[in-house]
A and B are shown apart, each in its own frame.
Chain A
Amino acid sequence: MAKLNVNGRTIDVAVEDDTPLLWVLREQIGLTGTKYGCGVAACGACTVHVDGVAVRSCATPVSAFTEAQKIVTIEGLAPAGTQHPLQKAWVELDVPQCGFCQSGMLMAAAALLAQTPKPTEDQIRAEITNICRCGTYNRVLAGIKRAAEGGPATSG
């Protein structure tokens, strides 16, 4: 049994301690926006925020988290009915292709902007290490720049 704070709600989940946070989010809580890509923290499709910091949830057991830690998923990146500046930029630039990596991409980008509101291109290139196989990188880059120009972005 674990108690988690996810997108502002406190949730009890009955799982084995070694269950990765990713699968708790997807299978116990029903938040399927966070994706399974590799299971070894190599691709970033599973990225969520824990106290505002990007964390790859596929390789972190649920037992590593306490109720005091605020976990935010793509579904909670912006308050209901609103869009995070990155989500706006993503729509304006038609960033996603297949879209499967984009939840993680957006969460990684949001954590970057929360920490570094005006990143340089080199910083973006160094910090965004999520894999996109369709090849949206240049629009991801443009989307982060556009969101950064639009004012300070806040992490959900």
Chain B
Amino acid sequence: MTTESTLSRRGLMATATAAAGAFTLGFHVPLTRSAVAQGAAPAIPPEVNAWVVIRPDDTVVIRIARSEMGQGTLTGLAQLVAEELECDWAKVTTEYPTPGQNLARRRVWGNFSTGGSRGIRESQDYVRKGGAAARMMLVQAAATAWNVPAAECSAANSVITHTPTGRTTTYGRVAEAAGRLTPPENVPLKDPRAWKIAGKSVARLDTVEKTNGSQVYGMDLTLPGMLNAAVRACPIFGGKVRSFDAAAVQGMPGVKRVVPVGDNAVAVVADTWWRAKKALDALPIVWDEGPNANASSEAVAAWLKEGLDAPEAVVGNRAGDARAAITGAAKRIEAVYAYPHQNHACMEVMNATALWTADRCEVWTPTQNGEAALAATAAASGLPATQCDVHKIHLGGGFGRRGAVHDWVTQVVLIAKQMPGTPIKMIWSREEDMLQGRFHPVTQCKLVGGLDAQGNLVGLTMRISGQSIVAGTFPQNIRDGRDPVVFQGLNASGGEADIGYTIPNLLIDHAMRNPSVPPGFWRGVNLNQNAIYLECFIDELAHAAGKDPLAFRRALMTNHPKHLAVLNAVAERIGWGTPAPAGRFRGLAQTHGFGSYVAACAEVSVSNDGKLSIHRIVAATDCGHAVNPQQIEAQIEGSFVYGLGAALHQEITVKGGRVEQENFDTYPSLMLAEMPAVESIIITSGGFWGGVGEPTIAVAAPAVMNAIFAATGKRVRSLPLKHADLRRA
């Protein structure tokens, strides 16, 4: 782990803690009704520009458009602005503009969407320019006050110096004047090699509050006069509420109202959430189970299996004539893999608070996309978006669940609308969160490879059969039956998720099969299963060819130097080709996704009774530029927790149209006891910006699965691994 902390602001935060006994750093969450009524842009002090506010005491407030959900984007984006601003990092704090403000200001803060590992890579250019422009305006304001040319002035550490005379002033003194200047048009940016704040392992800006209970999550919010709601939607996908007996629970302690929520859910509103939940549990509800009441995971699996050989499929990547090459090959290898539905299982269940009046609707919620939450608010409220706003709150995990679909926001607004003027906080139970997920898509994959007499791969077909996330969330983006993200990590070169092998005859296609279980973008998205399918099968091919898995890969990767570089990095660090410690076995995987190149080598052992232990993983990421290396390491480590939890334990099954796993006791996560040591290698080859929150997840499972084969001679081709018998044959 990186422990570099030369730019740490821990001292400052600890001092603030000791002196005030309260935490003044962090986000401004408007909690009062008067703040709600204001709604618009913050009052004083005036901003230098949309990204930077500097208070008279030199405090620097950096506006962050993307959402912090644990991935560190808040700190990383602030570093990028601060780098160009040349401000004192110890004086930096942050705030979220609201999506309503963004709308009113013609999207001056750009896209709020925080998914696809895009937070930094897609906003780095304009946030750096925001910081640089603010610096130029501050310098110009000082130069104007001194009546000297701006070119004679320089800025560093929030201090502006007139070089010829040595005069100095601070950002806080000139900020108001700077804010009145016309923004510069030409805003040059620093060469990343000259970075002093960005690129360094600075401490996160949001840590102290998360260690003493003072961080406010959506679930913790309190508004004056607020009531609490517990909600239950039909547990069968596509089902509706036929009737409910409100009178049966109306007299229970604390209960205020029992209300319908759309056509498929019911809510109990009470003084406390616990009382609302208790009454909801006692509420008789009759469901109209709808058309999916007989849906089952077995039926879905059979349907997907049929798709593996279906004549109709959409081609994702093609070269030469794969089928002919395989027919003429010396050796034919075939395998079928399967990946299940999974729930995001954020630690903080879905929740939101809403206040609806006839002319305004405000929502407070943890969301990965404030603008999408605003759209959901407006649609459910019956009011124009200009009369609505959403106040973003730190997320207790997102992983994609809180990004594309804001079903819970719709619900809270529909409840609040029935109780005008009363703030309503709605919290899902864990069971509701499990049943009403937007699940990792289910797919199967049939791979066929052909080897020539020398064991060279001459042809590969890869048929993916199964669910399309895009079809389930943004069907308007399906063109000619093609889901543009289903081939993540398998695309031809030139994108952000490209296959790392040159195979002379290749056919990768998709037979779309969409079951009733609603799909969602799940951290890592389609790269997760695609990397398992390809990287495990490449291992199978290497074995069939009698070749070393690293050497077999390298031979296919000469045209893919960045893919190869991360693979080589992990192989070198783990000592591939030298004996592993006694009883341990190694497996490799590499892929490209979310703009970054990643590889992993896992070292595992399997006991005689089939118990798997994952001891050590070496992981490499080339993300082009590294804004905060210690946070990238945190994302890499976290990716193994998320990816290995999925690989080992997690599976959502459906029976009678509803999800069978309702809590962590039947949907286990990876535990500390199972966590391997992780060594991270961060490569910054430059020239591009890659994401870091997701790509490594995709190499977690295949590296371990290939190591399991090395250990046991058994190929596991179906996830999760808990179903596999790993005892030596």
Q: Please tell me if the beta carbons of A82 and B18 are within 8 angstroms of each other in the complex.
A: yes
Q: How far is the CB of B498 from chain A (nearest CB, A)?
A: 26
Query: Is B663 in contact with chain A by the CB < 8 A criterion?
Result: yes
Assembly CA distance A37 to B71 (angstroms): 20
For residue B438, give the distance in angstroms from its CB to the closest CB of chain A: 16
Bound state CA distance, A73 and B214, in angstroms? 12
Q: Are B274 and A23 in contact (CB under 8 A)?
A: yes
Question: Are B427 and A36 in contact, CB atoms less than 8 angstroms apart?
Answer: yes
What separation, in Å, do the CA atoms of A129 and B246 have in the docked complex? Answer: 40
> Does the CB pair A133–B274 fall under 8 Å?
no
Q: A35-B396, A39-B430 are in contact. Are A126 and B212 (CB under 8 A)?
A: no
Quick one: given A37-B347, A133-B642, A135-B641, are A98 and B70 in contact (CB under 8 Å)?
Answer: yes
B665 touching A40, Cβ below 8 Å:
yes
Residue-wise, chain B 671-684 has the 8 Å CB interface mask toward A (1 for contact) of 11101011000000
Q: Give Cα A133–Cα B219 distance, bound, in whole angstroms.
A: 17
A155 at the interface (CB under 8 A from B): no
Q: In whole Å, how far is B650's beta carbon from the nearest beta carbon of chain A?
A: 11
A11 at the interface (CB under 8 A from B): no
Which residues on A sit within 8 Å (CB–CB) of B5?
92
Is A114's beta carbon under 8 Å from chain B? no
A98 B207 Cβ-Cβ under 8 A: no
Q: Tell me if A148 is interfacial: C-beta within 8 Å of chain B.
A: no
The smallest C-beta distance from A36 to any residue of chain B, in angstroms, reads: 7
Complex contact A138–B70 (CB within 8 A)? no
B577 near A: Cβ within 8 Å? no
Count how many chain A residues have C-beta atoms less than 8 Å from C-beta atoms of the other chain.
Answer: 64
Measured CA separation A31–B216 after assembly (Å): 11
Q: Name A102's closest neighbour in chain B (CB-CB).
A: B210
Determine if B495 is an interface residue (Cβ-Cβ < 8 Å). no
A74 to B220: give the CA distance in the assembly, Å: 14
**B562: interface (CB < 8 Å):** no
The contact of B672 among A31, A78, A106, A128, by CB within 8 Å, is A128
Nearest Cβ on chain A to B630's Cβ, whole angstroms: 6
- Give every chain A residue within 8 A of B217 (Cβ-Cβ): 35, 100
- Is there an interface contact between B664 and A131, defined as CB atoms closer than 8 Å? yes
User: With A and B bound together, what is the CA distance between A73 and B213 in angstroms?
Assistant: 9
Q: Say yes or no: B10 contacts A92, CB within 8 Å.
A: yes
With a cutoff of 8 Å between Cβ atoms, the chain A residues found around residue B19 in the complex are 81
Contacting pair A141 B672 (CB below 8 A): yes
Residues from chain A with Cβ under 8 Å of B673 in the complex: 125-126, 129
- Which residue of A is nearest B665, CB measured? A42
Inter-subunit contact B274/A97 (CB<8 Å): no
CB contact list, A102-156 vs B, under 8 A? 102-103, 106, 124-126, 128-142
Tell me the smallest distance from the CB of A13 to a CB of chain B, in Å.
11
Complex interface: chain B residues within 8 A of A106 (CB): 211
Contact A94 B204 (CB under 8 A): yes
Is there a chain A Cβ closer than 8 Å to B407's Cβ? no
Residues of B within 8 Å of A68, CB to CB, are none
Complex interface: chain B residues within 8 A of A124 (CB): 672
B18–A42 CB distance below 8 A: no
B345 at the interface (CB under 8 A from A): yes
Binds A, one of B162-170, B309-317, B631-639: B631-639
Residues of A35-49 contacting chain B, CB below 8 A? 35-40, 42-43, 45
Choice from B396, B634, B669 contacting A99 with Cβ under 8 Å = B396
Q: Mark A59-76, 1 if CB is under 8 A from B, else 0.
A: 000000000000001110
Looking across the interface, which residue of chain A has its beta carbon closest to that of B209?
A: A99
CB–CB A39/B429 < 8 A = yes
Choose from B211, B222, B630, B664 the contact partner of A40 (Cβ within 8 Å): B664
A35 contact set on B, CB distance < 8 A: 217, 219, 347-348, 396
8 A-B pairs in the complex with CB atoms less than 8 angstroms apart: A19-B274, A81-B17, A94-B634, A97-B71, A98-B396, A128-B672, A131-B671, A136-B637
7 extra A-B contacts, CB within 8 A, seeds A136-B637, A137-B675: A39-B429, A81-B19, A83-B212, A94-B207, A98-B69, A98-B70, A99-B394
